[in-house]
Amino acid sequence: MNFALNLLSVTAISVGSVFFLAGTVGLLRFPDALSRLHALTKADNVGLGLVVIGLLPLAYGVLGGLKLVVVWALVQLSGATVGQLIAQSIRRNGPTA
């Protein structure tokens, strides 16, 4: 049981990190603002989600786990909003860089 949980943690966090890495590479390498934004939000959503899943078994009690989930939810909310706002700004002002 313990081993299984540890394995889950390690796997989820590793995969999450890969998403973050990919997102960062995408942010740096993609040609235009909209696709960069796409890369960024994917890293945020999936990467962070996986890391939080991986951390859940290690959390201090139920309250600690709940806090992690709240962190994830809040980042989702703000990430989604900011993504929208940036995209709107790009549409309004035209793509820069």
Partner 1 sequence: MIVQTLDISLAALVLTLAGWTVLAHGTFPAVVSYVAYGLLLSLIWVRLFAVDVALTEAAIGGGVTGVLLIGAASKLRNAALLATERELTPPLRWAIAALCVFTTLALARVVLSLPDPSPTLAPEAVQDIAATGLGNPVTAVLIAYRAFDTMLEKCVLVLAVVGVWSLASDQYWGGTPSALRAVTGYGTLTFFAQLLPPFGILIGIRIFWVGADEPGGAFQGGAILAAMWMIIIMARLADAPAIGGRWMRIALAAGPIVFLGVGILGFIATWGFLAYPAGFAKPLIIFVEIFMTLSIAATLPMLVAGPPIRAPRP
Chain contacts with partner 1 (rule: CB under 8 A):
70, 74, 77-78, 80-81, 84-85, 88
DSSP state of 45: I
- Rounded-to-integer distance, Cα 73 and Cα 9, Å: 19
Distance (Å, whole) CA 28 – CA 23? 9
Q: How far is the CB of 7 from partner 1 (least distance, A)?
A: 19
Output the smallest distance, CB 1 to partner 1, in A: 27
Of 1 and 96, nearer to partner 1 (C-beta) is 96
Q: Which is nearer to partner 1, 1 or 63 (CB)?
A: 63
Cβ 28 to partner 1 shortest distance, Å: 14
Closest CA to 71 of 52, 90, 56, 85: 52
